[in-house]
Amino acid sequence: MENIREQLSRLVGEALNKASGIADCDPNVITASRPEFGDYQVDGVMAAAGRCGRKPRELAEAAIAGMSDEDSLVASVEVAGPGFINIRLNDQALMARGNEVLRDPQSLIPADSRVQKIVVDQSSPNLAKEMHVGHLRGTVIGDCLSRVLERLGHEVIRQNHVGDWGTQFGMLIAYMRELDREFNKSASLLQTELEDLETFYRAAKDKFDSDPAFADRARLSVVRLQGGDPEYLEAWQSFIDESLRHCQEIYRRLDVGLTLADLDAESRYNDDLEGIIRELDEKGLLQESDGARCVFLPEFKGKDGEPLPVIVQKSDGGYLYSTTDLAAVKMRSFDFEADRSLYVVDARQSLHFRQVFAVAQAADMASANISLEHIAYGTIMGSDGRPYKTRSGDSVKLADLLDEAVARALELVSEKNPDLAEDERRLIAENIGIASVKYADLSKNRMSDYVFDWSTMLSFEGNTAPYLLYACTRIKSLLRKRPQESPTEELTSLEHAEERALLLKILQLPEVVSLVARECYPNLLCNYLFELAGVFMRFYEACPVLKAEPQTRDSRLALALLAEQALEQGLDLLGIQTLERM
């Protein structure tokens, strides 16, 4: 089923095409900016009038006269201002849509008419270290976008492009050998050393920076590793396995859908890199500069207007991030045959991606119709305006961050609802704590930096996860008290403005979801859900449900059921699960 906006766009668009004589008018239908303008407004008439040289209001009248409305969706239309068309929808049509959703909740968000194959590159931690705050956004935003696209019926290929290769692993292996000169340490002892990967990494790094002889051994280790020495490969694998266990534990806690099957590790491309260089050379794109092999493209200029290189092979023969990414573009284009490839990666890498995409296109490593999109996000800042760090200046481990969120949530739940059993409070706190962190992130415009602030995200007021979860528990509590004899609820009336406003808002969920799928801004969905929760709260305050006359009561229960569906399905797309009580 088309959503309301799509249907109106089609109806008005066709009428506008006919009236203007222009085949491809954009009616530009949006939800009304003010209640007195009705439910939806048409903003595209003025532009169309400009194109065909007619007076906007006159064209608007002509379009209205020629509008067909097979489903009687529209109750009234009027021309307003310089040439807007204000549309008010028919209550019966709204209720019919609502009742359809009651019969089939999944129909609230229908599948896209055009199914695509979409790669979503997400999370992508460096396996040499533990996951830290820097990985939160790419993990959570990537998961949300994957859920949204999957829900619309697209074939989503999640790719976790973990860093599992390169110089730091030489360093780790060399340091492990310091602790256990010939790899003789028992497996369990090694295990304990690796459990705190972060500490291990820092110790190795310190030694690397302070001890030149060790640094040489580290570099040598990289050579042995890349040369395929079985002993070194085994040591490397032990790091990778341990690190992946850490990641999976974080993903499980975050309720993020990434699994080992989604791994797209850098090392996957080891055997392809030589071929990438050869291919660039055959295309005449390769140049040598100071011993490194580079691609120079005219659209990229560096200092003083000099050409800016994309280095694809170091002077020592080693390959780089760019080379691996080119190989990945190729695989996504021609093996996966993806329609879109989304890279949910820090905004600081935008130049890198512009270059990689441009080189891939110049070298025909990207198929002609794949859409390569860098879904960039900003940095999480501390209250000092610097990137979020611990007081001592270290990066904050994601595991610690989640622990603290849950601890703070437990404190608040215990304070607000001391009667609940401790077990239940703990479960609720786990849910709320994690949800708060995720929601605080998803609800911000992904492009901008934001300040990480416990008190606002867990304040349980305003545009936060707790507010939304609370709205859900109110609905669920209401539904639990439904009279036993109540038949299958159905919408039968919309007497109060609050009822109508709630139903309309619920039916707009699919419009927002398709917008998020296109633009990749999860905060649009958060804004919508916050508004939806607000509309529900107002309905809840204004319209008694259980005490109303049976017919009104059942109609309002139907509305509550729909609100529950919209909130639950919307939150699920954010990766947040609802609670029965809190």
Partner RNA sequence: GCGCCCGUAGCUCAACCGGAUAGAGCAUCGGCCUUCUAAGCCGAGGGUUGCAGGUUCAAGUCCUGCCGGGCGCGCCA
* Binding residues among 513-572 for RNA as defined by CB under 7 A: 515, 521, 523-524, 527, 530, 534, 537-538, 540-541, 543-547
Q: Among 216, 104, 140, which residue's Cα sits nearest to residue 436?
A: 140
Angle at 160 between CA 316 and CA 248, to 5 degrees: 115
Nearer to RNA, 195 or 580 (CB): 580
- Measure CA of the first residue to CA of the last residue in the chain; give whole Å: 36
* Contact in structure between 3 and 511 (CB atoms under 8 Å): yes
Minimum CB separation of residue 1 from RNA in Å reads 19
Q: Considering only residues 486-515, where is the footprint of RNA by CB under 7 A? A: 511, 515
Per CB under 7 A, which region of 58-66, 82-90, 235-243, 391-399 contacts RNA?
Answer: 82-90
From CA 282, how far away is CA 305, in angstroms rounded?
27
Partnered with residue 319 across adjacent β-strands are: 313
Q: Considering only residues 374-393, where is the footprint of RNA by CB under 7 A? A: 378-379
Q: Does 285 bind RNA (CB under 7 A)?
A: no
Q: Reduce the DSSP state of residue 373 to 3 states and report it.
A: strand
Minimum CB separation of residue 486 from RNA in Å reads 13
Minimum CB separation of residue 325 from RNA in Å reads 9
Per CB under 7 A, which region of 17-25, 96-104, 253-261, 298-306 contacts RNA?
Answer: 298-306
Minimum CB separation of residue 182 from RNA in Å reads 28
Q: Does 191 bind RNA (CB under 7 A)?
A: no
Q: Reduce the DSSP state of residue 109 to 3 states and report it.
A: coil
Q: Does 581 bind RNA (CB under 7 A)?
A: yes
Q: Give the E-state strand segments of 395-461 in sequence order.
A: 450-451
From CA 164, how far away is CA 144, in angstroms rounded?
25
From CA 78, how far away is CA 38, in angstroms rounded?
9
- Site map (CB under 7 A) of RNA, residues 444-483, x = contact: xx-xxxxx-x--x--xxxxx--xx--x--xx-xxx--x--
The correct pick among 9, 41, 221, 226 for binding RNA (CB under 7 A) is 41
Cα Rg of the chain, angstroms? 28
Nearer to RNA, 182 or 304 (CB): 304
Per CB under 7 A, which region of 76-84, 138-146, 171-179, 269-277 contacts RNA?
Answer: 76-84
From CA 176, how far away is CA 467, in angstroms rounded?
48
The correct pick among 3, 122, 126, 552 for binding RNA (CB under 7 A) is 126
* Contact in structure between 295 and 285 (CB atoms under 8 Å): yes
For RNA (CB under 7 A), the number of binding residues is 103
List the structure tokens of 438: 């995720």
Q: Does 311 bind RNA (CB under 7 A)?
A: yes
**Residue that is written with structure tokens 């050869």 in the block:** 278
Per CB under 7 A, which region of 68-76, 149-157, 201-209, 438-446 contacts RNA?
Answer: 438-446
Nearer to RNA, 196 or 449 (CB): 449
The correct pick among 46, 62, 362, 427 for binding RNA (CB under 7 A) is 46
Q: Among 215, 242, 222, 231, which residue's Cα sits nearest to residue 181?
A: 231
**Residue that is written with structure tokens 């990414």 in the block:** 325
